[in-house]
Structure 1
Amino acid sequence: MRRSDPVRLFQTLPHACGYYAERTAQNLVLDPAAPQLDQLYGPALERGFRRAGGHLYYPHCPQCRACTPCRIDVEHFQPDRAQKRCLKRNADLTIVECMPGYNRERHALYERYLRTRHPGGGMDDADASDFRRFLTAPWSPTLFLELRLGTHLLAVAVTDVCVNGISAVYTFYDPAETARSLGTCAILQQIELARRRGMPWLYLGFWIDGHPKMDYKRRFKPLQVRGADGWRELA
């Protein structure tokens, strides 16, 4: 299979929206059985798709277009004052690039994070198979960025390294360490990883204008969003 070959595109059934309780959502999904998904991943990212487990998907809701793909311009990014303070607070951490996958230490942290941040959301009782299924895929160019204080694991940033950019897939961290702003710290470390690898973009998934859970993404400037006419810088 070549990247120019046709790839089947499926539409999911309606399901509960993760951002608006009164809405339903649907996704377009590239055929998960298609060979060479690793080669399709980069072009799919460029077109606004995102990985969840072994699926590359794009929101396609009949009555809503709120989810907007976004990415950070790595070359021109400069941390603001709050982000500089975050880096200073976490200067005692060690950042380690690791092979992806399940182990008990990561799973325990993942469980604590989900129980605290997403109680009752359907993910807060994740076993080992749930961990593997959601965070990794056999074809995906994934690494885990571990943030450690000494030997203690504080955060894991699940990070996909593609030929045309890096994708911030998911980050989970110790909920007792809120003062460290570990989510922000993880993105800053992914930006540095992109710079070391010579990658122009850090893809942050989707941004929703006016949604409080997505507002933090605006602070990583310059941020680009993708619309019908392609990518543009968000004012």
Structure 2
Amino acid sequence: MTHQPQQSPQFFLTAPSACPYLEGQYERKVFTHLVGDKANELNDLLTQGGFRRSQNIAYRPACETCRACVSVRILANEFKMDRSLKRVWKRNTDLIGHSHRAEPSTEQYSLFRHYLDARHRKGGMSDMTVLDYAMMVEDTHVSTQIIEYRRRGPDSFISQKGEGELLAVALTDVMSDGLSMVYSFYDPDLADRSLGTFMILDHIQRAVAQGLPHVYLGYWVEGSRKMQYKIRFKPQEHLGPKGWERRD
């Protein structure tokens, strides 16, 4: 009989449930807990293997009849903006993102609530309370940060902070090989700014500045309109049966 080390993660499988992306499909997930002093190392390995983090859980699809979910990561050092993305970047040059410890605030939750009510009223997160939001941000054993985006002020060059109302927020894991965008949200009334796209562009810039080669975007689902934006950022890599494969 063999004995697994006490530190080895245990994996579990969820029951089937309706797929939120493809009508008529059912999803299952395999998951494990990210806890203890090895949580950062484990999160790195699992993210590189196609897992995503939610609080202290790492999960990935394990559907019986579908393989539509594909893990996507941007090759940050080689990324070049096309004309459309340059316009988004220029449109938001008056914003600055300030990163700090993963701590929730009432201001964040108000923006989060406004975003959900406008964009995901029927989604699985639609009934999240302020306590649920706090858990989403704080319940982490890995290196996680909040990035808050506001308009630049006269002292932003020195303070690296914006001023005024909060316009967008990203919850981001800092890994050994990249930044993983766990969740992001923004003011839905500012659709002309394309703030979701801008935050991805900003994360690419941050990854390059920190010497990190990748920005992890989670899953792309072919056939799902919700996910189409993720394949705009090239070159990128998709995780397949043979490992990470480049897509230009």
Secondary structure in structure 1 of the residue aligned to 2:238: strand
Counterpart amino acid of residue 82 in structure 2 = D
Report if the CA contact (8 A) 1:10-1:30 is conserved: yes
**Length-normalised TM-score, structure 2:** 0.89
Aligned partner of residue 176 in structure 1, secondary structure = coil
Contact 1:102/1:128 (<8 A) preserved: no
Q: Which amino acid aligns with 1:87?
A: W
1:57 is matched with 59
- Confirm whether residue 123 of structure 1 aligns to residue 125 of structure 2: yes
Runs (4 or more) in structure 1 with deviation over 3 Å come to: 3-6, 31-35
TM-score, structure 1 length as denominator? 0.93
Select which of 36, 39, 42 maps to 2:41: 39
1:1-235, aligned counterparts within 5 Å? 6-32=8-34, 36-149=38-151, 150-235=163-248
Q: Percent identity?
A: 37
Question: How many pairs align?
Answer: 234
The question of whether the paired residues in 2 share the 8 Å contact of 1:17 and 1:23 is answered with yes
Query: Matched residue of 2:189: which SS?
Result: helix
CA contact (8 A) 1:54 1:133 kept: no
- CA distance in 1: counterparts of 2:70 and 2:183, whole angstroms: 17
Note the residue ranges of structure 1 that are not aligned, 5 or more in a row.
none
In structure 2, give the amino acid aligned to 1:141. Answer: S
SS in 2 for 1:231: strand
Gaps in structure 2 of 5+ consecutive residues: 152-162
Distance across 1 between alignment mates of 2:170 and 2:124: 21
CA 1:4–1:230 in structure 2 vs 1: closer, same or farther (change >3 Å)? Answer: farther
Mapped partners of 2:210, 2:138: distance in 1: 21
Give the letter for the 1:201 counterpart: H
Letter in 2 for 1:121: G
- Cα distance in structure 2, aligned partners of 1:79 and 1:184: 11
Deviation at 1:4, TM superposition (A): 11
Cα deviation digits, residues 47-86 of structure 1 (max 9, x gap): 1111112110110100111001110001100111111101
Q: CA deviation at 1:134?
A: 2.8
Tell me the CA shift for residue 189 of structure 1.
0.7
| Larger Cα-atom Rg | 2
SS in 1 for 2:190: helix
The code of the aligned residue for 1:79 comes to: M
CA RMSD across the alignment: 1.9
| CA distance in structure 1 between the partners assigned to 2:124 and 2:51 by the alignment | 23
